[in-house]
């Protein structure tokens, strides 16, 4: 039997690569007991990881900003080769290289039938929706590993049409598991379309993915705001405009300098609950980005919110924020008839079409997010560098398969 190693949360600021059991075609105990399901999972597949990425959502746990316990396995951005199949898997073959949505979905419940795979009802007893390697998401083993089990494989796996082509474009295709669909979802639900002016808050990987997605949707100008000069330079590298929020200048003034008016047609919050106020020494203020978006989005605009917000944040600045209660100016959004889209991106709504864009050279998401390959053993260093603000999307290559 093959061995298996996975990245594990060891406490605030610390991760390690540890040996765990090789995966089996069985469901997690939490799901079995909580959902009253059978333990055996003949609908599942085991994948050998080709690539698996470090995500900003993982960083929230590693910073100690969630209720994740020590020992939590990490990783939900998974691209892998099928090496084992359950008897009930009909349409996926051994040897297929597949992208795996970070949302775990049964494909059978009401939400899945409505295309809302981010809030599947049958994969997490704690709440609707599940993900690999994430706190309160059902107890599924993380995918920053050598091998991982994927349930409901026929529904969740998207095989790439050609293995050789997939490996040539793997640094782009690896983004299909999360940040490319998530960024696209943020831009699309904000109403970005031909000729739009767009503001994206945050120049981390999801923000850069949202900015590139806005370009693909036809935006006339995409303005990215952040306080990290290196990340703002990365945004400019593929044609975005940038505004430096460390200056402390009024955001509407900065927007006007770029687009000629103080408002935009659509706004995307790609920051989430660890947002800070404006200015180089600003304190954490978790409602800042949401309020910024409402301030600079025109009346009737949409605001896409792929940035993560949580119901439990032990490191928050005040008791309200610790439970996700924030000082959001909802009255402003109501007065301006804004629409808001929150929650996990339903990856399956987008991943096949975004795959086609990559395979036809219409999208260069790896370039946009500065995809940078590392080994599994280098994951702790990748986490540390990412936490310091590196303008890179770290792609872990557990088996040395990436050229």
Mean pLDDT, range 252-279, rounded to an integer? 97
Is residue 133 located within the same domain as residue 204? no
Torsion of CA 10, 11, 12, 14, to 10 degrees: -20
Look at the block and give the residue holding tokens 């050998």: 48
Residue of 89, 108, 105, 107 whose CA lies nearest to 47: 89
Residue 171 lies in a domain: yes
**pLDDT score for 118:** 98
Residue 357 CA to residue 193 CA, distance in Å, equals 17
pTM: 0.97
In a domain, 60, yes or no: yes
- 142 falls in which pLDDT band (50, 70, 90)? very high
Confirm if 145 and 398 have CB atoms less than 8 A apart. Answer: yes
| Residue that finishes a domain, picked among 320, 341, 362 | 341
141 in a structural domain: yes
Last-in-domain residue among 295, 324, 341: 341
Copy the structure tokens of residue 88.
């009930």
- ∠180-182-186 over CA atoms, to 5°? 115
Domain assignment present for residue 403? The answer is no
Q: What percent of the chain has pLDDT over 70?
A: 100
Backbone phi and psi for residue 303, each to the nearest 5 degrees, phi listed first = -125, 115
Q: Reduce the DSSP state of residue 142 to 3 states and report it.
A: coil
Structure tokens of 60?
A: 């929230």
* Within a domain: 149: yes
* Per-residue model confidence (pLDDT) at position 2: 75
Final residue before a domain boundary, out of 341, 362, 383: 341
Same domain, 31 and 121: yes
DSSP 223-291: EEEES-HHHHHHHHTTT-EEEEGGG---HHHHHHHHHSSS-EEEEEE-S-TT-B-SSTTPPB-TTHHHH
Output phi, psi for 13, to 5 deg: 85, 5
Model confidence band, residue 84 (pLDDT cutoffs 50, 70, 90): very high
Quote the pLDDT of residue 3.
85
87 and 231 fall within a common domain? no
CB atoms within 10 A of CB 3: 10
Closest CA to 268 of 324, 238, 236, 225: 225
CA distance 129 to 123: 7
Residue-number span of the structural domain to which 118 is assigned: 4-178+346-396
Residue 402 falls within a domain, yes or no? Answer: no
218 shares its domain with 356:
no
Predicted pLDDT of residue 239 = 98
Q: CA dist 79 to 219, 304, 309, Å?
A: 30, 26, 26
Q: Which tens digit of pLDDT belongs to each residue from 322-344?
A: 999 999 999 999 999 999 999 99
**Tally of domains in the chain:** 2
Identify whether residues 269 and 142 lie together within a single domain: no
pLDDT at 77: 98
pLDDT at residue 353 is higher than 90: yes
162 and 110 part of one domain: yes
Do 235 and 220 have their domain in common?
yes
Cβ proximity of 199 and 358 under 8 Å: no
Q: 190, 188, 98, 114: which is closest to 148 by C-alpha?
A: 98
Residue 56 inside a domain? The answer is: yes
Going by pLDDT thresholds of 50, 70 and 90, the confidence category of residue 1 is low
Answer yes or no: do 93 and 205 share one domain.
no
Secondary structure class of 84 (helix, strand, coil): strand
pLDDT in tens, 368-401: 999 999 999 999 999 999 999 999 999 999 999 9
Backbone angles phi, psi at 389, to 5 degrees: 100, 20
Q: Tokens for 273?
A: 């609950």
Q: What is the DSSP string of 49-86?
A: EEEEE--HHHHHHHTT-S-PPTT-B---EEEEEEEEE-
Do 89 and 198 lie in one domain? The reply is no
Q: What is the mean pLDDT of residues 285-299?
A: 97
CATH number at residue 160: 3.90.180.10
pLDDT digits (tens, 9 = 90+) for 58-76: 999 999 999 999 999 999 9
Is the domain of 238 the same as that of 274?
yes
Query: Sorting pLDDT into bands at 50, 70 and 90, what band is 317?
Result: confident
CA distance 204 to 389: 8
Report the CATH number at residue 250: 3.40.50.720
Q: Is the pLDDT of residue 200 over 70?
A: yes
Statement to judge: residues 142 and 289 lie in one domain: no
pLDDT at 178 over 60: yes
The mean pLDDT of 234-252, rounded to a whole number, is: 97
In a shared domain, residues 76 and 218: no
Residue 379 within a domain: yes
Mean confidence (pLDDT) of the chain: 97
């Amino acid at each position: 039997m093959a061995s298996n190693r996975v990245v594990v949360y060891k406490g605030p600021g610390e991760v390690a690569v540890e040996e765990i059991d090789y995966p089996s075609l069985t469901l997690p105990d939490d799901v079995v007991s909580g959902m009253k399901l059978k333990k055996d999972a003949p609908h599942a597949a085991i994948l050998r990881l080709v690539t698996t990425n470090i995500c900003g959502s993982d960083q929230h746990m590693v910073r100690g900003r969630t209720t994740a316990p020590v020992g939590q396995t990490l990783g939900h951005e998974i691209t892998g080769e099928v090496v084992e199949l359950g008897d009930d898997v009909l349409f996926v073959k051994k040897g297929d290289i597949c992208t795996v949505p970070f949302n775990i979905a049964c494909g059978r419940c009401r939400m899945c039938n409505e295309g809302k795979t981010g809030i599947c009802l049958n994969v997490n007893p704690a709440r609707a929706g599940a993900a690999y390697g994430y706190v309160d998401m059902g107890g599924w083993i993380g995918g920053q590993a050598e091998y991982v089990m994927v349930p409901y494989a026929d529904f969740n796996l998207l095989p790439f049409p050609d293995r050789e082509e997939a490996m040539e474009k793997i640094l782009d295709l690896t983004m299909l598991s999360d940040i490319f669909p998530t960024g696209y979802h943020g831009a699309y639900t904000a109403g970005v379309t031909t000729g739009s002016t767009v503001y994206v808050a945050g120049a981390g990987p999801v923000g850069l993915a949202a900015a590139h997605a806005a370009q693909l949707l036809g935006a006339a100008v995409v303005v990215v705001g952040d306080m990290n000069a290196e990340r703002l330079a990365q945004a400019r590298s593929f044609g975005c405009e940038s505004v430096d929020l460390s200056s402390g200048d009024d955001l509407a003034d900065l927007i006007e300098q770029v687009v000629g008016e103080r408002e935009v047609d659509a706004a995307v919050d790609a920051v989430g609950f660890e947002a800070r106020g404006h200015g180089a020494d600003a304190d954490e203020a978790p409602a800042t980005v949401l309020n910024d978006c409402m301030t600079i989005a025109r009346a009737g605009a949409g605001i896409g919110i792929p940035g993560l917000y949580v119901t439990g944040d032990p490191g928050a600045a005040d008791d309200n924020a610790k439970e996700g209660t924030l000082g959001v100016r909802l009255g402003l959004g109501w007065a301006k008839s804004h629409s808001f889209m929150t929650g996990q991106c339903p990856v399956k709504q987008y991943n096949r079409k975004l795959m086609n864009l990559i395979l036809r050279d219409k999208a260069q998401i790896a370039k946009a997010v500065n995809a940078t390959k590392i080994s599994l053993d280098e994951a702790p260093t990748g986490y540390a560098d990412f936490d310091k603000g590196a303008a890179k999307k770290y792609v872990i290559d557990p088996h040395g398969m990436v050229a």
